[in-house]
Chains A and B, each alone.
Chain A
Amino acid sequence: MPGDLTLPAVDVERTFGAGFVQEARRYERFFYVVWVLAQIALLATLWLYARRGTAFIRESSAGPIGTGMLLAMLGLGIVWLVILPFRLASHWWDRRNDQSDLDYFSWLFEDWAVLGAEFLSICIALLIVMGLARWLGERWWLPGAAVFVAIAALFNFVAPYLDFTTEPLRDKALLASAERYEGELGLSSIPIRVEEVSGYTDQANAYAFGFGPSRRVVFWDTVLQEPFSGGEQRVVLAHELAHHSQNHLPEGIAWFALFSVPGAWILMRTTRRRGGMGAPEAIPLALLVVVVFQLVTTPLANTISRRMEAEADWKALQVTRDPASLEGLMVGFSETGLGDPDPPAWTQLVFGTHPSLADRVAMARAWAARSGN
Chain B
Amino acid sequence: MAVDATPRPIRLVVRDDDLRRSRLTVFFRFFLAIPHFIWVTLWGMAAFVVAFILWLAVLIEGKAPENLHDFVAGYVRYATHVSAYVFLAANPYPGFRGAPGYPVDVEIDPPERQSRWTGFFRLVLALPALMLAGALGSGFAVGTTLGGGTAGAAAVYAGAGVGALAAFLAWFVGVVRGAAPRGLRDLIAYALAYGAETAGYVLLLTGRYPSSDPSLVQPAAELPAHPVRIEVTDDLRRSRLTVLFRLLLAIPHFVWLTLWLVPACFAVIAAWLVAIALGRVPSALHRFLAAYVRYWTHVLAFVTVVGRRFPGFTGREGSYGIDVVIEPPVRQRRLKTLFRFFLAVPASIVAGALGGVLFVVGVLGWWAALVRGQMPEGMRNLGASCLRYNAQTYAYLLLVTDRYPYASPVLAGRPEPATEPPSLALPWDAF
Contact = CB atoms under 8 A, between A and B. Distances in A.
B3 interface: no
Contact of A120 (B244, B252, B313): B252
Contacts of A131: none
A343 interface: no
Nearest to A118: B248
A16 to B, nearest CB: 43
A66 B298 CA distance: 14
Contacts of A63: 312-314
A119 B311 contact: no
Interface string A66-93: 1101100110011001000000000000
Interface in A243-299: none
Interface in B332-351: none
Nearest to A62: B312
A4 interface: no
B248 A119 contact: yes
B249 A74 contact: yes
A66 B308 contact: no
A116 B242 contact: no
Nearest to B245: A77
Contacts of A81: 244
B311 A61 contact: yes
Contacts of A116: 248, 251
B241 A62 contact: no
Nearest to A80: B245
Contact of B239 (A59, A67, A69, A73): A59
A119 B239 contact: no
Interface string B275-310: 000000000000000000000001000000000111
Given A62-B311, A63-B313, A67-B310, A120 B245 contact: no
B312 to A, nearest CB: 4
A56 interface: yes
A78 B320 CA distance: 25
B2 interface: no
B231 to A, nearest CB: 13
A123 interface: yes
A115 interface: yes
B319 interface: yes
Nearest to A65: B313
A123 B310 contact: no
A166 interface: no
A60 B253 CA distance: 13
Contact of B248 (A56, A58, A66, A77): A77
Contacts of A115: 248
Contact of B249 (A58, A70, A112): A70
Contacts of B248: 73, 77, 112, 115-116, 119
Nearest to A112: B248
A349 B339 CA distance: 69
B249 A61 contact: no
B252 A60 contact: no
A77 B244 contact: yes
Interface in B249-263: 249, 251-252, 255
Contact of A123 (B239, B252, B314, B319): B252
B323 to A, nearest CB: 10
Contacts of A67: 310
Q: Which among B245, B249, B255 has the highest number of chain A CB atoms within 10 Å?
A: B245
Contacts of B249: 70, 73-74, 77, 119
Interface string A39-73: 00000000000000000101111110011011001
Interface in A156-214: none
Contacts of B251: 116, 119-120, 123
A58 B239 CA distance: 10
Most buried by A among B310, B313, B320: B310
A58 B309 CA distance: 8
A77 B246 CA distance: 10
A121 B40 CA distance: 57
Nearest to A67: B310
Contact of B252 (A58, A59, A112, A119): A119
B175 to A, nearest CB: 46
B242 A56 contact: yes
B321 interface: yes
A73 B319 CA distance: 21
Nearest to A63: B312
Interface string B46-58: 0000000000000
Nearest to A73: B249
Interface in A86-128: 112, 115-116, 119-120, 123
Contacts of A58: 309
A56 B239 CA distance: 8
Contacts of A70: 242, 249, 310
B241 A78 contact: yes
Nearest to B314: A63
A353 to B, nearest CB: 29
Nearest to B313: A66
A120 B249 CA distance: 9
A61 B320 contact: yes
Interface in A298-318: none
A77 B244 CA distance: 9
Contacts of B244: 77, 81
B257 to A, nearest CB: 13
Nearest to A127: B252
Nearest to A120: B251
A83 to B, nearest CB: 14
Given A61-B321, A120-B251, A66 B241 contact: no
A123 B248 CA distance: 11
B312 A74 contact: no
Nearest to A81: B244
A58 B311 CA distance: 11
A324 to B, nearest CB: 50
Interface in B313-370: 313-314, 319-321
A106 B17 CA distance: 55
B242 A66 contact: no
B252 to A, nearest CB: 4
Q: Which of A59, A119, A120, A123 has its CB near the most chain B CB atoms (within 10 A)?
A: A59
A67 B309 CA distance: 10
Interface of A: 56, 58-63, 66-67, 69-70, 73-74, 77-78, 81, 112, 115-116, 119-120, 123
| 3 nearest A-B residue pairs (beta carbon) | A62-B312, A123-B252, A61-B309
Interface of B: 239, 241-242, 244-245, 248-249, 251-252, 255, 298, 308-314, 319-321
Given A59-B308, A66-B310, 5 more contacts: A59-B239, A60-B310, A69-B252, A77-B241, A119-B251
17 contacts: A56-B241, A59-B239, A59-B242, A62-B311, A62-B313, A63-B314, A66-B310, A74-B242, A77-B248, A81-B244, A115-B248, A116-B248, A119-B245, A119-B251, A120-B251, A123-B251, A123-B252
